[in-house]
Amino acid sequence: MSKTWILLANSRHARLFERDSRSREFIELADFINPDDVTMRQTVAGERHGSAVKGHGPAAHIGTQFEPRSDMDEKACRGFARDVAARLNKGVVNHQCDWVSLIASSQMLGELRALLSDAATEKLRGSVASDLTRYQGQELRQRISEALATV
């Protein structure tokens, strides 16, 4: 019997599941929330990614512009990815899983792959750029199975 860890992630939320080869059931092992994202949501409007801002920057005379993604957003994502990857790396080293699969938003997938240890990279069965963190129950199981069927 082999165990596969399946990580679902985006820059704000990650969920780690275990699936054994015999029962094919999913067991949720961990639920991660990016603590920096909570802080970022509490900032005033206009300081975050994608916030509409009036009267700032070169397009101020037009009335509204969208601010580019901030370095703070990228740092928060990178730090969160580091924490999540550390959990995966530790699980591989401690032989808690035989395989690892990643299903994550494009940005988070890139961050995670770069942070996996050599041992975890060897155990990587596949990765899919998709955000499934919002799904629950049977729909989640179905979407995970569909995503993993493509790798």
Ramachandran angles phi, psi of 30, nearest 5°: -155, 150
CA gap 117, 89 in Å, rounded: 6
In a domain, 60, yes or no: no
Residue type, 115: L
- Residue 63: predicted pLDDT: 53
Q: How many domains does the chain have?
A: 1
Q: Where is 22: in which H helix or E strand?
A: none
In a domain, 24, yes or no: yes
Contacts with 65 (C-beta within 8 Å, 6 or more apart), sequence order: 52, 53, 56, 57, 58, 59
CA gap 47, 39 in Å, rounded: 12
- Residue 67: predicted pLDDT: 52
Range of the domain at 126: 3-44+71-149
- Residue 20: predicted pLDDT: 82
Alpha helices in the chain (DSSP H): 35-41, 71-93, 106-115, 118-123, 137-149
CA nearest 48: which of 64, 71, 32?
71
- What's the alpha-carbon Rg for the chain, to the nearest Å? 18
In a domain, 122, yes or no: yes
Q: What is the CATH number of the domain that holds 27?
A: 3.30.420.60
In a domain, 75, yes or no: yes
- Residue 65: predicted pLDDT: 56
Q: With a cut of 70, which residues of the chain have pLDDT below it?
A: 37-72
- Residue 68: predicted pLDDT: 54
- Lookup: tokens for 96: 């808690």
In a domain, 18, yes or no: yes
